[in-house]
Amino acid sequence: MKIGFKRLLKICSGMLFVLSACAGLQQQVAVSSVEGEKVITMEASSFKFTPNNIKAYQGDAVAIKIVNISDAGHDFTIKDPQGQIIQSVDLPSKKTVEVRVTLSEPGEYSFYCDKPLHSSFGMKGQIEVLRK
């Protein structure tokens, strides 16, 4: 069976669209306090951060403990509400990395994996920062 290039391209584009549509935000999770410190534990897996929808408050200094359970290396990049990268760290396979950020402004802080196509497949999320 012979499939033409245009047809193959349409099939691949459709699959990419379906995969990206499945990669929405999860139920929102609040940052918790552990011994006075604001902490969130997150898993990085194949094309997904869990949780990927987090609520915090203006002025919170948050420790994000990211456990990469995947066999592949990933990245965690976070942007402030103006879209400026405030931190980007590598997430080696089967390792835990701690990222510390101060959420000084209210708004949406987006985060994602900047490896090729990873965020397109759903490896992204947000921290909604509310005024105190």
Measured CA to CA, the distance from residue 56 to residue 69 in angstroms comes to 25
Per-residue pLDDT at 13: 57
Confidence of residue 17 (pLDDT cuts 50, 70, 90): very low
Q: What domains lie within the chain, and their CATH numbers?
A: 25-130 (2.60.40.420)
Q: What is the pLDDT of residues 46-96, one digit of tens each?
A: 999 999 999 999 999 999 999 999 999 999 999 999 999 999 999 999 999
The pTM assigned to this predicted structure is 0.79
Q: How far is CA 81 from CA 6, 8, 46, 74, in A?
A: 40, 39, 26, 23
Return mean pLDDT, the chain: 87
Per-residue pLDDT at 32: 74
